[in-house]
Structure 1
Amino acid sequence: MPVFTCNDAAFLIDIDDRGEQNKWFSPQFDKSNWMRVAIPGAWDFYSHAFWGYEGIGWYCLEIGGDLVQQDRNHRLQFERVSGYAKVWVNGERVGEHIGGYLPFEYDITSYLHETGTNQVVIRVDNVPRSNWLPGATLIEWIQYGGILRPISFVTSNLCFISDIAIDASPVLGGAKVVCNVEVTNAGGALFDGSILLEIPANDDIYIALVEVTCQAGQKAVCSATIDLPQAQLWTLDSPKLYDLRAELLGLNDEAVDEKQERFGVRTIEVQGTQICLNGQPIIIKGVNRYDEVAGYGPTVPEEVIRADLLKAKQAGVNCIRTHYPLDSLHLNLMDEIGLLLFEEIPLNWWLKPWEIDAEVDEAENNGIIDRAEVALQEMIERGRNHPCIIAWSMCNESGTNKPYGIDAMRRLMRKARELDPTRLVSFVAVGHTAGHQAFVEADMVCINFYYGSVIAPIVYQIDQLEQFAAIATANHLQDTVLEFAGKPVVVTEFGAQALAGIHGDHRYSETLQAAYIESVWQAIRSVEGVQGGILWCWADYYHRSTYAGPWQAPYGAYGVVTVDRQDKESLSVLSRLFNDGIKRELE
């Protein structure tokens, strides 16, 4: 299956939103004076003037007619475009996609020419809307704009393998691998053939063969099971991965298409108040992490991401949490390295949880939750084969203590279980609010605490930590454990800010941040039924320009490393805590 990756494009900013009116998408519109840019990459780095720009930008890229083949299918795959994308090919509207984190694709076969040059025009709009995700216009993290991950031009036969879903379960030292293979027939005739599945393992190749029939212009899903008599589990210390090769064969066994996927054999479940990986209780020792790095934004080279994740793992981190779905590069690396992932719908600060009596506009919020359900399905379909993902989170710090929010969480969690019954589901609540009744249906209670750092009384000196941070956190956790008896509780955020280079016994110093982390982690580990915590956060990050938080700065300084990955005092403390821990026998 030939794949051509687009590496550069012409770009023009559209501050006044005149591009569509003036038909910038037309091949006849002169684009010779547009700015040449490399893709992928956030437009924030095209020049200093673009930093933090929220608005519209247009891209034009070209596909040579020599790449277009008769009786073949051609698709344009977008791994990540920030915000709202509209796509034209040779002046014809192909489609649009809303959402800045997950991949999408279009069949562009009928729009292409075999001679000359084919012009692909993409209008990108990264302006947040209150009725889109994240469900609020108050957004903390910077909204990088543009084409953030690769665009690929994929050529295949008219009938091809479009998706593979793998469910690998350990069985008596081996594994049962259930494969659901989706075939798409973009041709005009019925396809009859078979699918050959192969898994190399234990110096052997285990196979399954299943017949497939797919009507013209339709999709068909075939299921087959491969039993591995011996299988190594995917664990944190030994993250074993297997390769599945699926080959689509015609009636005469001629090769039609091929697709490969990786997977791991592991289980994740809740047993009482414990979270168990492969049947063994684990304590979550996590960090929240945005995917940006200074100088790159969210378009970070693989070697930089790998080094960053390995550094976190060496610090004792076993789990990463995000406020939005990560790209496939991150997922592949976490599969390989052996890191767990809580992945979250980008529904954040929705429905004003801190204003319990705030009026709820049901018509607008119905649309938001509809979009959240679409994002949930896209997130699960993209991530389901990755063993690193252990939990789907429905939102962060939203109005899940209001009747509308409670119903929304129930709806989304039920949908998540329908789509993927093999992983945990929950949502993340604001710690200093009550009434999050949908936790009754969740696999675990996920709650954020910032006693002493954001929630008053504020800690200004180290000798105030025990009273204002540790005791307050422990007391609230004890109440939470009692309220949701029999469920594991995870502190999904806790932390304090520190400005790199400032030391001493005062607020915003590296010294106080390190002491805060140690004090609150000890409080978390002191409460039975609490199965760990996830620090906010691994690295400092840039704020959206319109965000005004308690620290009036263009960045959040909560990291144990800086945004350019320089260590703070707190990293060594976190490493000691997470690698050594507080010795406590799990019951």
Structure 2
Amino acid sequence: MREKLRLNNNWQYIPNYIEGMEKVKQWQSYELVHLPHSNIELPYHYFDEKLYQFISCYRLPIQVDKKYTHKIGILRFEGVMAYAKVFVNGDYIGEHKGGYTPFEFDISHALVFGKENMLTVIVDATEREDIPPFGGQIDYLTYGGIYRQVSLTFYDKLYIQNAQIKTNKLYQDKKELEIDVYTHNQTALETVGEFKLVMTDDHNHVVYEGNKQLDIGKDIQKGHLVFEDITDIQLWDIHNPKLYTVSLTLLGDTYEDTFTTKIGFRECKFKEDGFYLNNKKIKLMGLNRHQSYPYNGYAMPKRVQEKDADILKHECHVNLVRTAHYPQSVHFLNRCDEIGLLVFEEIPGWQHIGDEAWQKIAINHVGEMIQRDWNHPSIILWGVRINESMDNDAFYQQTNDAAKLYDTTRQTGGVRCIENSALLEDVYTMNDFVHDGHDMVLRNQQDVTHLDHQVPYLVTEYNGHMYPTKKFDQEERQMEHVLRHLRVQNASYAMDNVSGAIGWCAFDYNTHKDFGSGDKICYHGVMDMFRTKKFAAYAYGSQVSPDVEPVLQPVTFWARGERSIGGVLPLVILTNCDYIEFKYGDFPAKKIYPSKSMFESLPYPPVIIDETIINPSEIGEWGMLWEDCDIIGFVDNKKVIEKKLAKSPLPTDLRIQADDSTLHAEEKDATRIVIEALDQYGNLMPFYNECIHLDLTGVGRIIGPEVLTLVGGSIAFWVETVNKKGSIDIHVSSMHFDKQTLSITVQ
């Protein structure tokens, strides 16, 4: 029976590796750290990108009980950036090239049972040209460290290494599970394995049990099992993401092992006329995600990874995320499974293709990615090209073949930015940045592919660097930013032969000097790096039924002198309401409907108020008094939402909200705290740049500085635990507002 030891606490860390230190029995000085860990805490912006590009060393004392003497010990790393060299008790175990995929080693032979063992990892975070995505320039940073979890699992000498579970006969009353099971037999004897399968629902009720036998040979072997006549099953989809837990147990006289995973019964298919989930056509509307955060880079724990999925699904209301440009945390993917957020996952890379050895590693990354993630129902497409690279048919035939070898249930795509690219994959995935604010919004499919027929087609990026926009930018730019996202989505909805479009991107991110703004931030997101919204986030958030959430967001700071020529017209109001009532000052309220003529294909067009709807004299011409505004949204002739805009906004409230009020103590945990300066009507004050002082007492620490400045009227920070139970009190003070205290329980 397997036993898993989680190795995430109390690592010894030295930032500057010295040759031979992996063999030194005792280090004289070190920092005690917990995983996930970033090799250095970075500034928010304006920092040298070389700061994290160094070789460091981690070590962990492990007491290994004698009861494991005859077991197989598998050491697993979920992610180390970018090259790892592993030692146990000073003996070399192995190495791994690549920071985004997992790797593992059998360390049974190196362990001393009943005594303390020393696990040492040399971590090279430099941009080595022999490791994807490196070798050229890349528009993102690859923060160093052991930034994902580590475990040591002990198995009997015959165990289940992995299992891919396929769901068949989905539209029949009696469904089927087809399982490719990978066993590892170190008993030196061939045997007949007894497999017991138990499937439970989300209430832990058993919905199916079955038993099968399978001949098991020596070493690693792939076997095939089929379990039939499974009834009373709900299909997984984006509105009802029904998950089932599958436990597959291998039983014998001298061994027992259980492999457990979650699955969903679903079918996904890209066709020439769009994307289908369970035979139902769905227009895909998505955003790209980088997994990076301020200060900590990639090293954020489970709860924070899950929160990103929640933000995309429940705040931006998209139905698809692309993991640009690499496999991302399993915690993020698990949450996508749970909430019904579709995923397009791709291998690491950005434009550059290296030599033959580099390409071999990239092909290995295909296998590592798919074997880790093949049971996630949320994943609908494998990306098997280096993002935006030139054609290389020999290389990409191999990556595509590798994907097909490991998974026959999903299609493949390869993100390109060039026309007339060879289509070796199943789906033509294209970064289309043609829209520059003029009439051309998306290219016609066949103008891109140069084929004489339609193919499955998905737009994987748009906007981004074409119109970077800061949260604190002037109103006209923010409005155009919103309109560009709306125009592309409108065009996507209008084209039946386009499966959908994925905007670049969800969150701002740090980048190299070769890209982005002068402060080394790409302001390409519809949210900032702290996951707080720009107006463009509501362009997506408003494309949801008002039954889910009524949305009413005017794209304005409501000031007559904010725009170049004064006034607020044209005024874009992002909403999913049937109509609005707009009232300015003492003028009569006007009923105004969404602009369906301009956005005829968008599910919920915005309201656009211009001089054909409201005369400038009715909204106060230059030199007249400026007044309050009241906007009310109606659905089925009922008021569902209201927004008031102040003629003279005054700082009234400093709102402090934590994403979570309770954290866990057993391993590193963290939560975000958002601070917003609000006026008398509860609106954000975008130009109020108050200095905020933080003071933390209790069993936690603030990630980043303790003195912050509001940016665009808000700021956020993360608080992490220190593996102790108790409470965390965060005291927030500023010059204008009274001191406030927010408490978090750690249990």
Partner in structure 1 of residue 541 of structure 2? 575
Q: 1:230 aligns with which of 213, 229, 232?
A: 232
Partner in structure 1 of residue 21 of structure 2? 24
Could you list the per-position Cα deviations for residues 245-291 of structure 1 after superposition, in whole angstroms to 9, with x for gaps in the alignment? 1112114xx76122211111111113332221111111110100011
Partner in structure 2 of residue 150 of structure 1? 149
In 1, are the aligned partners of 2:98 and 2:132 still within 8 Å (CA)?
A: yes
Could you list the per-position Cα deviations for residues 72-131 of structure 1 after superposition, in whole angstroms to 9, with x for gaps in the alignment? 222211111111111000111111111101111111111111243200110111222333
Residue correspondence of structure 1 range 82-161 to structure 2 within 5 A: 82-134=81-133, 136-161=135-160
Question: What amino acid does structure 1 have at the position aligned with 2:538?
Answer: S
Q: Which 5+ residue runs of structure 2 have no aligned equivalent?
A: 546-575, 577-595, 604-747
- Shift of the alpha carbon at 1:10? 1.2
Q: Which 5+ residue runs of structure 1 have no aligned equivalent?
A: 352-363, 453-458, 460-464
d(CA) in 2 for partners of 1:152 and 1:522? 46
Could you list the per-position Cα deviations for residues 439-485 of structure 1 after superposition, in whole angstroms to 9, with x for gaps in the alignment? 2x332221112235xxxxxx5xxxxx2x2xxx233345562376363
d(CA) in 2 for partners of 1:585 and 1:570? 15
User: 1:537 aligns to what SS in structure 2?
Assistant: coil
- Shift of the alpha carbon at 1:409? 2.2
- Shift of the alpha carbon at 1:192? 4.8
In 1, are the aligned partners of 2:420 and 2:450 still within 8 Å (CA)?
A: no
User: 1:395 aligns to what SS in structure 2?
Assistant: coil
- Shift of the alpha carbon at 1:374? 0.7
Partner in structure 1 of residue 470 of structure 2? 499
- Shift of the alpha carbon at 1:244? 1.0
Q: 1:35 aligns with which of 23, 31, 37?
A: 31
The structure-2 alpha-carbon separation of the partners of 1:585 and 1:301, relative to structure 1 and needing over 3 Å to count, comes to closer
Could you list the per-position Cα deviations for residues 207-249 of structure 1 after superposition, in whole angstroms to 9, with x for gaps in the alignment? 3323345455x12333221121332111000011111111121
User: 1:332 aligns to what SS in structure 2?
Assistant: helix
In 1, are the aligned partners of 2:434 and 2:441 still within 8 Å (CA)?
A: yes
Q: 2:408 aligns with which of 421, 438, 448?
A: 421
Residues 1:398 and 2:398 aligned together:
no
Q: 1:560 aligns with which of 526, 530, 533?
A: 526
The structure-2 alpha-carbon separation of the partners of 1:193 and 1:487, relative to structure 1 and needing over 3 Å to count, comes to closer
In 2, are the aligned partners of 1:174 and 1:232 still within 8 Å (CA)?
A: no
The structure-2 alpha-carbon separation of the partners of 1:525 and 1:483, relative to structure 1 and needing over 3 Å to count, comes to farther
Residues 1:442 and 2:441 aligned together:
no
User: 1:326 aligns to what SS in structure 2?
Assistant: coil
Q: Which moved more, 1:341-350 or 1:32-41?
A: 32-41
In 2, are the aligned partners of 1:481 and 1:529 still within 8 Å (CA)?
A: no
Q: Which moved more, 1:319-328 or 1:129-138?
A: 129-138
Q: Which moved more, 1:511-520 or 1:371-380?
A: 511-520
The structure-2 alpha-carbon separation of the partners of 1:373 and 1:523, relative to structure 1 and needing over 3 Å to count, comes to same
Runs of 4+ displaced beyond 6 Å: 46-51
CA RMSD after TM alignment? 2.7
Partner in structure 2 of residue 381 of structure 1? 371
Could you list the per-position Cα deviations for residues 175-197 of structure 1 after superposition, in whole angstroms to 9, with x for gaps in the alignment? 21111222212345555541212
Tell me the TM-score normalised to structure 1 length: 0.85
Could you list the per-position Cα deviations for residues 125-156 of structure 1 after superposition, in whole angstroms to 9, with x for gaps in the alignment? 12223332125331121111110111112122
- Shift of the alpha carbon at 1:32? 2.6
Question: What amino acid does structure 2 have at the position aligned with 1:570?
Answer: A
Partner in structure 1 of residue 180 of structure 2? 180
The structure-2 alpha-carbon separation of the partners of 1:503 and 1:3, relative to structure 1 and needing over 3 Å to count, comes to same
The structure-2 alpha-carbon separation of the partners of 1:399 and 1:308, relative to structure 1 and needing over 3 Å to count, comes to closer
User: 1:573 aligns to what SS in structure 2?
Assistant: helix
Partner in structure 2 of residue 319 of structure 1? 320
The structure-2 alpha-carbon separation of the partners of 1:484 and 1:490, relative to structure 1 and needing over 3 Å to count, comes to farther
Paired-residue identity, %: 25
The structure-2 alpha-carbon separation of the partners of 1:282 and 1:482, relative to structure 1 and needing over 3 Å to count, comes to farther
d(CA) in 1 for partners of 2:365 and 2:227? 31
Residue correspondence of structure 1 range 232-271 to structure 2 within 5 A: 232-251=234-253, 256-271=256-271
Partner in structure 2 of residue 549 of structure 1? 515
d(CA) in 1 for partners of 2:197 and 2:111? 33
The structure-2 alpha-carbon separation of the partners of 1:576 and 1:200, relative to structure 1 and needing over 3 Å to count, comes to closer
Higher radius of gyration, 1 or 2: 2
Q: Which moved more, 1:238-247 or 1:571-580?
A: 571-580
Partner in structure 2 of residue 283 of structure 1? 283
The structure-2 alpha-carbon separation of the partners of 1:100 and 1:416, relative to structure 1 and needing over 3 Å to count, comes to same
In 1, are the aligned partners of 2:64 and 2:115 still within 8 Å (CA)?
A: yes
Partner in structure 1 of residue 457 of structure 2? 489
The structure-2 alpha-carbon separation of the partners of 1:86 and 1:191, relative to structure 1 and needing over 3 Å to count, comes to farther
Could you list the per-position Cα deviations for residues 281-316 of structure 1 after superposition, in whole angstroms to 9, with x for gaps in the alignment? 111101000112334432323333333322221222
Q: Which moved more, 1:163-172 or 1:30-39?
A: 30-39
In 2, are the aligned partners of 1:247 and 1:255 still within 8 Å (CA)?
A: no
In 2, are the aligned partners of 1:319 and 1:341 still within 8 Å (CA)?
A: yes
